[in-house]
């Protein structure tokens, strides 16, 4: 699995929002939430390319970046990894931990029920 740092992920996330995109578009998007210097984001883009998370095409002197994988694919792998490390690969204990500490809302419960429902339909 490609290992991304927190900051790298956030840059990639800005690209996932809408891609392909140039560095300046990504910088623009991130400027709302982050106080990152433009140079910082360029560095992170370079590291993402080096790690194989992004590819790019040249357009004049700019690069046009595209993610090398989909967000869902990446977050699934991260999730599996996380759940493996902290909960021996089982997902219910994570949810249970949330429930016990009052972290679940009625909406979360409804969404979870729907996920279960869909899964069961899928099965039959």
What spatial distance separates the first Cα and last Cα of the chain, rounded to whole Å?
A: 33
Which one of a second copy, DNA, none interacts with residue 36, CB within 5 to 8 A by kind? Answer: DNA
Which position among 16, 19, 20, 22 is part of the footprint of DNA (CB under 7 A)? 22
119 binds a second copy (CB under 8 A): yes
Question: Residue 3 to residues 40, 48, 54, 58, 90: CA-CA distances in angstroms?
Answer: 19, 10, 13, 25, 22
Scanning 27-35, 36-44, 58-66, 116-124 for contacts with a second copy by CB under 8 A, the matching segment is 116-124
- The torsion angles phi and psi of 69, rounded to 5 degrees, stand at -150, 170
Q: Are 14 and 71 contacting, i.e. CB atoms less than 8 angstroms apart?
A: no
By C-alpha distance, which of 51, 26, 47 is closest to 38?
Answer: 26
- Indicate whether 32 belongs to the interface with a second copy (CB under 8 A): no
CB of 38 to DNA, least distance (A): 7
Q: Running DSSP on this structure, what letter comes out for residue 103?
A: -
Interacting residues with DNA (CB under 7 A): 3-8, 22-24, 35-37, 39-40, 42-44, 46-47, 49, 60-63
Contact residues for a second copy (CB under 8 A)? 6, 9, 72, 75-76, 78-80, 82, 85-87, 90-92, 94-101, 103-104, 108-109, 111-116, 118-120, 122
């Amino acid at each position: 699995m490609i290992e991304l740092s927190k900051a790298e992920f956030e840059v990639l996330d800005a690209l996932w929002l809408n891609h392909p995109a140039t560095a300046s578009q990504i910088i623009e998007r991130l400027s709302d939430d982050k106080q990152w210097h433009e140079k910082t984001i360029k560095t992170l883009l370079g590291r993402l390319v080096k790690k194989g998370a992004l590819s790019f095409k040249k357009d004049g002197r700019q690069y046009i970046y595209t993610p090398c994988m989909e967000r869902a694919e990446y977050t699934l792998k991260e999730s599996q990894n996380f759940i493996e490390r902290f909960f021996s690969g089982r997902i219910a204990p994570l949810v249970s931990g949330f429930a016990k500490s009052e972290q679940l809302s009625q909406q979360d419960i409804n969404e979870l029920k729907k996920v279960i429902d869909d899964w069961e339909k899928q099965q039959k």
